[in-house]
Structure 1
């Protein structure tokens, strides 16, 4: 008896998250096609390697290059069973008549707000399914609900072996100065004065903490080798990719809390790190610059403290963001005939 292969059309706005989820869906036995960096999966992307297990359809890849995410060619849709849209509300709105008879899933990434929720409310009424990436999204005004909460993930076998032998504080963030209050650069700069600090990521040139760009393998090595990670968030997400990678690796994290984590001008309290990290057990949390600096210095001064924090952090990271847990959640959700409100 021939096994039915279910085809997924994945509309992406973030190549690293795209890479992770396409690998997961492919491992679950789905035939995936991406409108994103992995339309040609054998080539990979600038930030992540190829996914050779994914099928490659040259005709589909050519259509991706010709058609924007907001105006899909009907041929890209007709043989697909499930459409998963990463964040983009316009991709749902502009293509709805083309794929409304399919199973359509909106996959959030922490960028929703009341405007987005209201824009998608009519499509929710027509059967749009919703997978949230954090339970804190329920704090968004005019929230239109969820079918499940499934976090993004990291593989504990890949992000591991923290040793903390380099007496540095590190962070991974892009364009920190240009993004102003969204990335809390003034706080980051003031707290890190007098502390050996490495800021990795693009568009940080000229900043005293700038340590340049990292390859995929270099990034994992820096997370393993540096003593502590200073997390200042990127308002408005509940948590970011960088947080998951650091938490899973086990590098001790010192993080801002609700005051600096939530946006001061938006009425949604979606920041979640203070609910994930138990202060003093699996990391440190504060909105007091003096306390943040003290926590970082304590970790630099005591490898034993850092090792204790690391072990607890990694245990919790595997519970929340571990690949197998997330894989099981997706398998359960996708094998249901159709989600509900």
Structure 2
């Protein structure tokens, strides 16, 4: 018999290292001799879209297209430290560092343009497509390349997240900033004869602060849900006396495209007052509530609560038999 159930789970997640630990990112921005823009930062790209997001931020501030930004990262001979690609911190922390560096570079450009164009002030100067011009008189303009020829155009900026160590006695403090919020709703189908569980529908509502790149956000949600599904239903290292028995993909199962349902996604924009353009990181939050929502849906379907994961077909069948025995014993 196949039984269906629904479950929800939510999470609030503090991004960054937290608890007063120094959470620092540094970035450099430069206009090279040919007028191109280079961003240097040690932030590692692990598929979360950091390079794309940082390029978008810098391009927005400097009035160019994203493909005009040359991005240098993961090279310790050229890049300043930006901390780890962990704790869902890169969009917020390193994004703020990139934003600050781009803003400082913009200020340096307009100040140099003022002198080059012999203007009274920097007021009403605009940046567009590597040019700086006077809005009221666009013919009064200068190219980034000409300004770079007058001397180095390179700035470095650092952003440090604000966190407060929690009081060990009272538990009070402000250990994280910002917090992000995520909620999943899922529907599952449990086959009581085979123990197989199929997730047939999923809904996600994710607070992102500001959606810098909605497509990347949706990709993060898809990936996070797939990881949570595998965590809850399939992935088992098979530890026995300290030895990993499931050491290859033949016996360590992960979800495929056939296991993951089409997700309905709701991107919630609740701007962070200190985030770059209001953005928050969502790398880990999109994974955390997936397994709890699935387990709640299993409970709704068959009335059995599981406290150990993954909830494999074998464990489902054993739990059903034990519940049947207890039911007979009670009657």
Short-chain TM bin: under 0.3
Bigger strand fraction: 2
Q: Which has the larger radius of gyration?
A: 2
Q: Which structure is higher in RCO with an 8 Å CA cutoff and minimum separation 6? A: 2
TM-score w.r.t. structure 1 length?
0.25
TM-score w.r.t. structure 2 length?
0.26
Bigger helix fraction: 1
